[in-house]
C-alpha cells in the first residue's frame, strides 16, 4: 500500500511539473489582435452564458461537451482563442483541445474582464 501511495505521489509531481507548456496563454487585451490574425474565439461557457453576451464572432463549444471529446464543428487546421467567464474553464478546455491536436491559445482572464464589443 505504501508503495502504491509513493507511486501515486511521484505521478502527481511529474504531472504538476509538466505545467501547461502545451499551449500559450495570453491576456484578455490580446484577444482582438488574435482575431485580426485569423483566430476564432471559442467560448467554452455553457449556452445560457454565451447567449447572455459573447465576443463578436465567437463560437460556443461548452467545456462540458469537450470533456466528452465532442469536437464536431472544430478543425485541427484552424487556430482558436479559448475563453470562458473567469479563466478557469478555458484552461481546462485548452488542455483538452491541445491534447486532441487542436491549435489553441488560452485567455488568462475571461468574459468578466472583457471590455470590447459583445453580441
**Interval 12-61: pLDDT, tens:** 344 433 444 589 999 999 999 999 999 999 999 999 999 999 999 999 99
Question: What digits encode the pLDDT tens for the residues 93-116?
Answer: 999 999 999 999 999 999 999 999
Question: What digits encode the pLDDT tens for the residues 58-101?
Answer: 999 999 999 999 999 999 999 999 999 999 999 999 999 999 99
For the chain, the distance separating the N- and C-terminal CA atoms, rounded to the nearest angstrom, is 55
Dist. CA 18–CA 3, nearest whole Å: 23
Is residue 86 within 8 Å of residue 114, measured between CB atoms? Answer: no
Amino acid at each position: 500500500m505504501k508503495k502504491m501511495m509513493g507511486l501515486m505521489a511521484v505521478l502527481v509531481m511529474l504531472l504538476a511539473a509538466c505545467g501547461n507548456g502545451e499551449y500559450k496563454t495570453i491576456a484578455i487585451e490580446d484577444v482582438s489582435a488574435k482575431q485580426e490574425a485569423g483566430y476564432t474565439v471559442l467560448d467554452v461557457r455553457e449556452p445560457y452564458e454565451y447567449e447572455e453576451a459573447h465576443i463578436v464572432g465567437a463560437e460556443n463549444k461548452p467545456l462540458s461537451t469537450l470533456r466528452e471529446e465532442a469536437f464536431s464543428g472544430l478543425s485541427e487546421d484552424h487556430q482558436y482563442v479559448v475563453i470562458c467567464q473567469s479563466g478557469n474553464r478555458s484552461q481546462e478546455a485548452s488542455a483538452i483541445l491541445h491534447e486532441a491536436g487542436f491549435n489553441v491559445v488560452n485567455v488568462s482572464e475571461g468574459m468578466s474582464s472583457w471590455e470590447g464589443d459583445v453580441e
